[in-house]
Amino acid sequence: MKLDLPGGSGLTRSPLVTLVAVGVALAAVAGMATLGGDADASGPSGEATRAPVERTTLVCPQPTGLSRATTWYTGFTPAGDASTGDTSTGDGEPGSAGLLPLTEYVPGGATGADEDEEEDQEETEDTESAEDDGAEDEDGDDADAEPDDDRILLQQEPGTPVSDSTKDADAPALAGSADHGTAPGWTVQQTTLIRAAAGSGRGLMGTSCQRPDTSFWFAGASTAESRSDYVHLTNPDDSATVVDLDLYGPEGRMTLAVDEGVTVPGGSTVRVRLSTLTDANETDVGVHVTARTGRVGAQIEAVDSELGADWIAPVSAPEGAVVMPGIPADAETVRLVAFAAGEGDVNVGVGFAGPTATITPAGNESLYLRSGMVESVDLETVTQGEAGSLVLTPNEGSGPIVAALLVTRGEDDEQELAFIPATAPVEARTTASGNVPEGAELVLTAMEDDVEVEVTASPGDEGGSTVSDTLTVAAGTTATYAPELPDDTEGRYALTVRRTGGEGLLYAARVLTEERDDIPMFTVQTLPDDQSTVSVPETGPNLGVLGRR
């Protein structure tokens, strides 16, 4: 940074003017030193450094309106700086984190629950047993606890999770922020257990509350009769925004029944059923959500009449290889839904990164992705009884790829579904909160080179101690990790993955499982980097400005 004194006009300067200018320059130099410049720097700037973020904003979608459901929220900020691995946290200032409820906005009955959904809930209630299966006893009294202010999940100390729960069928969407010491890596997991005998009235729905943004891409949605898919649009800010929704099918961009965008007032959430936007009955649909102004959160609630329910999170659409980590070893079916989001087509090689190597599934060696045209392929035998990740590697063409997996476990009428979107790699650190003892497993995939990681299990929200472990993920393979928790761990806990060595790209996911009535209910959350640090350029004094005229 340089300060150029006024000059070059041909006017003669008086000594007083020159003295004042020198004083201004000295003040500027002193000011730069106060802002963190290196006193020993010989130039105006130095190398950039990583600094912890000072504020993180998250939004959580409105839980499903299906009956007999319990939703848990677990908030957590890791202890330590991801860029250095030390035990200090944030910018050294005390902070706090928490969430506040938002209002559901239903414009003219075009969004929100409709008659079909209400009938589905009534049918579900008819099939439910009069006695609960014991899940209520697990809920505790967290939902009735009053925090120090109006926020829920009030957190003031990193390193220990906080949890809350609700059984309210009208529970709202949430939005909030963390600042200073609680901001770097703050994450909130939202998990809903729906207890019913079969179909749309059962499932384990999980999602990571997300940072609001202006654009989101989804794969794996549906407008088929067997599905009731709703996109949840959440506006955490004060000003209203208009959101455009574009749907893509096998023939390209779909014609919508309504041309105008969806208005989302400030501090509110809107649910839009995808089947109300088009007359097309498509099994596999891609969705693009764009905010014209401001920012929103966007998640898709997918409810299948036979396979249960789960959230579809947006994908990351990076250039190069696309990785979908977290396929369980006992997956019954694996369905890939993908399309090229750029202007050109892309031909990709298909690989499955398992425990020992990346293999090419027989009969599905490659897939041609056309621009804006959704392709789907069934990969039932891809796992061969081994957990892993699906990898799409461009062979011809380039551009962003939108891809996700629909995975089922179980057989016949005891199946459950989950979605695995393509995800960005872990650059330094990532965290999965809301884990339950004996029900959580990490899936880690390394590409191109080996990666060394440290995995830390936090105490539970009801007590316990911290424990860490290290492991190496070999290039082109997938490692699964189920933590061995201390005996004193009680409640829901967090798992933090921190890179400690290796040059390869690392992809991560967490699989949550809960066995109910012989149904392996599960949900998968991909784990991109937590973006807990930002690049900050160093500045220093440039004394040369004092002699410039």
Residues 339-386 pLDDT 10s: 999 999 999 999 999 999 999 988 889 999 999 999 999 997 788 889
For residues 313 and 297, give the distance between their C-alpha atoms in angstroms, rounded to a whole number: 10
DSSP structure string for 439-495: SEEEEEEEESS-EEEEEEEPPBTTB---EEEEEEEPBT-EEEE-----TT-BS-EEE
pLDDT-based confidence at residue 126 (cuts at 50, 70, 90): very low
Q: Which of 97-111, 147-161, 314-328, 532-546 comes out lowest in average pLDDT?
A: 532-546
pLDDT-based confidence at residue 260 (cuts at 50, 70, 90): confident
SS3 of the chain: helix, strand, coil, percent, to 5: 10, 45, 45
For 79, 282, 427, 497, 537, the CA distances from 88, given in Å and listed in that order, are: 7, 51, 19, 17, 21
Residue 33 three-state SS: helix
Interior CA angle at 477 toward 528 and 349, to 5°? 85
For residues 47 and 535, give the distance between their C-alpha atoms in angstroms, rounded to a whole number: 10
DSSP 3: -
Residue pair 220/315 in contact (Cβ under 8 Å)? The answer is no
Residue pair 291/214 in contact (Cβ under 8 Å)? The answer is yes
Which of 57, 76, 242, 270 shows the shortest CA–CA distance to 159?
Answer: 76
* Residues sharing a CB contact under 8 Å with residue 421, sequence separation 6 or more, in sequence order: 218, 219, 220, 312, 313, 314, 315, 316, 324, 403, 404, 526
What is the mean pLDDT of the segment spanning 66-71? 86
What is the mean pLDDT of the segment spanning 231-241? 97
On the 0-12 / 13-18 / 19+ scale of CB atoms within 10 A, 188 is buried
**What are the backbone dihedrals phi and psi of residue 150, each rounded to the nearest 5 degrees, phi first?**
-75, -10
Q: Which of 26-40, 197-211, 252-266, 267-281 comes out lowest in average pLDDT?
A: 26-40
Q: Which two tokens stand for residue 341?
A: 């989001």
Residue pair 174/101 in contact (Cβ under 8 Å)? The answer is yes
Asked whether the whole model's pTM tops 0.85, one would answer no
For residues 435 and 482, give the distance between their C-alpha atoms in angstroms, rounded to a whole number: 11
For residues 133 and 135, give the distance between their C-alpha atoms in angstroms, rounded to a whole number: 6
For 2, 337, 360, 437, the CA distances from 334, given in Å and listed in that order, are: 58, 10, 15, 27
For residues 70 and 198, give the distance between their C-alpha atoms in angstroms, rounded to a whole number: 17
State residue 46's pLDDT score: 57
3-state secondary structure 301-341: EEEECCCEEEEECCECCCCCCEEEEEECCCEEEEEEEEEEC
For residues 457 and 231, give the distance between their C-alpha atoms in angstroms, rounded to a whole number: 33
Residue pair 68/125 in contact (Cβ under 8 Å)? The answer is yes
**Total number of residues shown for the chain:** 549
Dihedral of CA 380/385/387/391: which sign?
A: negative
State residue 515's pLDDT score: 78
Residue pair 444/481 in contact (Cβ under 8 Å)? The answer is yes
Digit-coded pLDDT (tens) for 271-321: 999 999 999 999 999 999 999 999 999 999 999 998 989 999 999 867 788
Residue 527 has pLDDT above 90, yes or no: yes
For residues 442 and 497, give the distance between their C-alpha atoms in angstroms, rounded to a whole number: 9
State residue 70's pLDDT score: 93
Residue pair 100/175 in contact (Cβ under 8 Å)? The answer is yes
Which of 345, 339, 323, 314 shows the shortest CA–CA distance to 401?
Answer: 339
Residue extents of the structural domains in the chain? 15-51+538-547
Q: Which two tokens stand for residue 160?
A: 């220990």
Q: Which two tokens stand for residue 348?
A: 């990709």
- Strands 268-273, 103-104: pairing is parallel
For residues 304 and 301, give the distance between their C-alpha atoms in angstroms, rounded to a whole number: 10
State residue 140's pLDDT score: 36
Residue 222 has pLDDT above 70, yes or no: yes
Using the structure block, give the residue that is written with the tokens 């990583």: 50
DSSP 251: T
Digit-coded pLDDT (tens) for 183-204: 999 999 999 999 875 556 678 9
Using the structure block, give the residue that is written with the tokens 């909130």: 188
Using the structure block, give the residue that is written with the tokens 């989101």: 216
What is the mean pLDDT of the segment spanning 407-423? 91
State residue 363's pLDDT score: 86
Top-ranked range on mean pLDDT: pick from 27-31, 65-69, 91-95 = 65-69
**What are the backbone dihedrals phi and psi of residue 297, each rounded to the nearest 5 degrees, phi first?**
-105, 150
DSSP 140: T
pLDDT-based confidence at residue 31 (cuts at 50, 70, 90): very low
Burial readout 392-413 (b: 16 or more C-beta within 10 A, e: otherwise): bebeebebbbbbbbbbbbbeee
